[in-house]
Each structure stands twice: as C-alpha cells, then as structure tokens.
Structure 1
Amino acid sequence: MAVWGLSPPRRTVDRTAPEEHARMDITYPIIIAAAKSWFRLGGMTIDFEGWENIPSEGGAVMATNHNSYLDFIVSGYPGVKKKRYTRFMAKKEVFDHKVGGPLMRSFHHLAVDRANGAEAFQVAVDALKAGEIVGVYPEATISRSFLIKDIKSGAVRMAVEAGVPIIPVAHFGMHRVQTKGHARDLSRGKTLVIRVGEPFVPEGTDVAADTAELKRRMSDLLEECIAAYPADQKPAGAWWVPASHGGSAPSLEEAERLDAEEKKSRAERKAAKAAAKAAAAKG
C-alpha cells in the first residue's frame, strides 16, 4: 500500500521538437499535493499495489479503466511513485479556453482534434517516442456496470507504432465519489483500490488479439481490486458494486442498452437544436 506523496518538478526533454529543449513540470506537483490533502482530509484509504511496474524512463501507454468523472486523478496516481507524470489526450477546444487552456498546457497534456483521428493518433505516438507516459481510457466512456466493457484498439495501435509497452491499470472506489447517473458523494471514509499490472508489448501482427489480451489483463486487475475492497464497503445491493458481485449496478448488457439510449437521445437533441437554428436563420 502506498500514499501519493509530493514529487519535485521533473525536467523532461521533448525529442519531437527540431531542437531538444527542457521543460519544467510546475503545476503537476501542486495538483498532486492538493489531491494528497483531499485524500487525507476525506479520510480516504488508498490500497495501491504494482507501482514497481511503472518504468522509470521511456515511453509507455497507460491503459486505465473508466468508471468515474474523477478518473484523471486515479490515472495520474501510479506514475508519481516513480516521479513520472502521465500526459492525457484532450480535445483541442479545451486548450483554447482562457482558463483551462493554460492549465492543460502547464500539465503538458496532449491537444487532439477529434475530427482528425489520424492527427490525434500521431500526437500520441510522437509523445510516446519522446519518452512520455500517455494515459488512455480504452473503454472511451464511463462503464455504468463498473466492469470492463468492450475496449477500443487505439491503445494497442499506439504502442505498436511507437514501439513501447502497455501498462494495464485498474481501480475501484472513486466512482463512489462521482460517476454517471449518481449524485456526488463527498462523505468521509471511502477506500480506493488501485492495481498496476505488468507491462506487455503487443506483437502487432493481430491488433484484435492484442486488444483482447489488454481487456483480459484489465479485467483480471479489476477483479483483484474488487476482491481487495473492504467487505463492509460493498454490501449486497449497493449501487456501486457490480451485479456479478452482489450489487445493484447494471449488468454489462443493461449498461450497453442504457448507453445506446443515451447516445440516441443526445443525437436527437442535437438534431432538434440544429433544426431550430436553421429555422431561426430563415425566419
């Protein structure tokens, strides 16, 4: 078990630039300290194993499960023990915001254009080749079942292209604070369990098989997290416990149906808004 401590700023080199230049991480340590204080004040217990699987240097794809709105905190946690900072991919519009933009740039996160998948992919690959740890959520959206749902192949393809390993990570507990479909709960005494798996290098000859292997590893780690979660914090019928473990969370199949309904509803609202805008323009 480990506690997230404050690390000194780390100087990194961006090898994708025409000339090497050093950059200093200043904001990251501040946020780490803030998170550490939040955990302490909130009486949160951190059960963390596998940090030794984070490489001390060199690029790697960190593939983490996605079950809460606060997963960026959990995903940034593992690398800190090795004084590594994880760079996350975010849509470029966030970087254009007058407040969020400077903050995101201070973290050296990666601005990507969702409308240009090839460009976004290359941004991540360049960062990996420059020796960064790039954080991704292969499930793409929050899992309502709190189990690993179908994952995308992007993590595998990035690792193959950059010639770096994938580090599978799973966590359980942060969704009790804030997740989709449930009110925020900042009450004290929760537990967060994190498990970091051994790095593996995908063969690259069969992306589907490599992606299936990544899902298997993430699922096994998540099962370890759930098994390690305190019994008194996962009572029968609890909404934050997967149905397969005696909770009342939706099954994977039910969660998929809910996601499809939400996607359809969102598309209908978007179409209605566009139609109203077009009608107003004509009028």
Structure 2
Amino acid sequence: MAELVYPPVIGVARTMFKALDLRFDIKGTENVPERGGAVLVSNHIGYLDFVFCGLTTRPAKRLVRFMAKESVFRHKVSGPLMRAMKHIPVDRAAGMDAYKHALKSLRSGEIVGVFPEATISQSFTLKNFKSGAARLAQEAGVPLLPMALWGTQRLWTKGHKRALGRHHFPITMRVGEPMEADPTEPSDTLTERLRTRVQDLLEAAQRAYPVRPKGPEDTWWVPAHLGGTAPTPAEAVALDRRR
C-alpha cells in the first residue's frame, strides 16, 4: 500500500530542520536492515526524539512505526497524522492491544520504534528499561536495533520552554549493530544487555557532541554527573512522581 502521508511529513520535518539550521552528526545508519522487521530502541530525552530517530532509517529507505501514548492519537492535529503514518497507540491501562499491534507489524516486516524508558528522562541519563521491546523482538523473531541521541533536549523537553528558533543546535545520533533476540534468553537479561548497549552509544554521542555550555545559565541540559545542573536521577524520579 502506498505511503501517502509519511513521506510528505518527513519532507516537512527536513525543511523545518533546515530552517532551524540544525547540525546533524549521524553514524551507524549502515546498521539499519534494508528489509525485514526490527525493533528500534532509543533513549528518550525530548519531545521530538521520534522524528530524529526516524531520520536514521532513511538511508536504508525504511519507515519506522513508533509506539506512542494513546493521548497523542486523540489530538485533533497529531491524531490523524499518527494514524495515517501507521504508528501504534499505547494505552498504558490496556497495553496488550498495543503489544499485539506491534507484533503484527514486526511479523509483516516493519521496523517498530520503542522508547523503553516509557517517559522522557529529566536527568538526561538512561532510566531503567521496560522489557517490552526485548519480548517483542523475541516473539517476532527479529533483531533489536539500539541507538542513542543527544542534543535533542535543547530543542524541546519536559520542564523547559521550546527553543525552536535558529540556534544552530548540533544533534548527535549513533546507531549500533543489530542485536539478536534469542527467544531462549530470559527477557530481563536481554533487556539489561540492550540497556548496556544503548548506554555505550549514548556515551559515544556525548563524547562526540561538539559544544559545551556557554555559561552557568546554560548548564541545565547537561547531566549532573557530567558537571551540569540537570536533576540527578533520584531528583528526576521525584519530579516524575509529582507530575
């Protein structure tokens, strides 16, 4: 079936990124399989992460069907677009329907995008992973595709104003080699291996990031353990609970 909506939306996003003069540093796109199902797994630090993750699969001419919270599909603007692009709504009170939907997509040869932290990390460090991504890959018999991004939190993230002006922000992304999802391996063990791989990619993206804070008022986007003023992981948990 022809993709009538997804490619034009990608075109609009690229035009927006050019207008914002974003500076992309993307490595590892050769690891994206050119055909067949896969579960793309990324860290989550900003509201636009799914757009940037999707860019990494375009050299392989692939589209990603992202799992996203159901409320996005109820919005009068984003809802019709999300459905037309065949993304997958997730009702956290009834998650099995989303799981079955994702499984069907994977078995039909699609790439399904998952943020296993479930919510944006306000500490900009890696939270614990839920096991759904690993279980999907194991049951569908497809690989896990780990990736990490950095810099997207500076554009738009939880607890901060949007900065969608022409700020010339760098965006760094790293895609790792596919990981086999052996169905005989405990899903919790596979999930921890996956998290370790994403952590390695995240640290590589952070090391490669070409700019540092301009001054004390610009340290909010840097994790506390790297000398920034972002909430610590414990503080971020408290913030999530209050929200």
Q: State whether TM-score is above 0.5.
A: yes
Higher relative contact order (CA 8 A, sep 6+): 2
Q: CA RMSD in A?
A: 1.8
Gaps of at least 5 residues in structure 2 are none
Which of 143, 156, 159 lines up with 1:178 in the alignment? 156
Offset of 1:111 from its aligned partner? 3.6
Gaps of at least 5 residues in structure 1 are 1-22, 263-283
Q: Where does 1:1-283 land on structure 2 (aligned, <5 Å)?
A: 23-91=1-69, 94-95=72-73, 99-187=77-165, 188-204=167-183, 205-233=185-213, 238-262=219-243
Aligned residues: 240
Q: Match for 1:185: what amino acid?
A: A
1:196-227 deviations in Å (ceiling 9; x for gaps): 01110122321111111011011110101110
- Which of the two has higher C-alpha Rg? 1
TM-aligned CA distance change 1:209 to 1:96, over 3 Å: same
TM-aligned CA distance change 1:114 to 1:47, over 3 Å: same
What is the TM-score of this pair, normalised by structure 2? 0.92
Deviating more after overlay: 227-236 vs 241-250:
227-236
1:68-114 deviations in Å (ceiling 9; x for gaps): 11112112111111110000123556546655443222212224443
What is the TM-score of this pair, normalised by structure 1? 0.79
SS in 1 for 2:153: helix
- In structure 1, what is the Cα distance between the partners aligned to 2:78 and 2:212? 39
SS in 1 for 2:146: strand
TM-aligned CA distance change 1:203 to 1:116, over 3 Å: same
- In structure 2, what is the Cα distance between the partners aligned to 1:261 and 1:232? 30
Offset of 1:121 from its aligned partner? 1.1
- In structure 1, what is the Cα distance between the partners aligned to 2:95 and 2:15? 38
TM-aligned CA distance change 1:207 to 1:177, over 3 Å: same
Offset of 1:164 from its aligned partner? 0.3
- In structure 2, what is the Cα distance between the partners aligned to 1:253 and 1:207? 26
Q: Match for 2:17: what amino acid?
A: F
1:113-149 deviations in Å (ceiling 9; x for gaps): 4332222211111110000000010000000111111
- In structure 1, what is the Cα distance between the partners aligned to 2:174 and 2:111? 17
- In structure 2, what is the Cα distance between the partners aligned to 1:48 and 1:97? 31
Deviating more after overlay: 247-256 vs 52-61:
247-256
- In structure 1, what is the Cα distance between the partners aligned to 2:177 and 2:131? 19
SS in 2 for 1:152: coil
